[in-house]
């Protein structure tokens, strides 16, 4: 054993290795996601069954309520338009 554990980020898919001292802990990825480090397998016997792989999908998408802001802009005769633009630019439109 080389003293390192292989990990892969469930969000961006980037793979790498971490020291065995991180077994059972979480490490951070450059994309901002947290990766759970599993304990290394110290068994010298060949496994009777292939290891199961679990895929985790993270959905971090929120839609911006354009229809609501459009109605508010019409009802307020355009006074809501600057607020709509500010909300969109501050990250609500991602």
pLDDT tens sequence for the chain (94 residues): 468 888 888 888 888 888 888 888 888 888 888 888 887 664 545 556 666 777 776 666 566 777 888 888 899 988 888 888 888 788 765 5
Residues 6+ positions from 29 with CB-CB distance below 8 Å: 9, 11, 12, 14, 35
b/e code 57-88 from CB counts within 10 Å (16+ = b): eeeeeeeeeeeebeeebeeeeeebeeebeeee
pTM for the full model? Answer: 0.39
């Amino acid at each position: 054993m080389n003293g390192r554990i292989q990990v892969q980020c469930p969000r961006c898919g980037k793979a790498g290795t971490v020291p065995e001292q991180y077994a059972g802990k979480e490490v951070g990825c450059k994309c901002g996601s947290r990766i759970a480090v599993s304990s290394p397998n110290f068994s010298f016997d060949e496994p009777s069954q292939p290891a199961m792989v679990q895929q985790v999908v993270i959905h971090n998408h929120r839609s911006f309520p354009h229809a609501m802001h459009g109605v508010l802009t019409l009802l307020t005769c355009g006074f809501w338009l600057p607020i709509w633009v500010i909300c969109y630019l501050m990250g609500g439109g991602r």
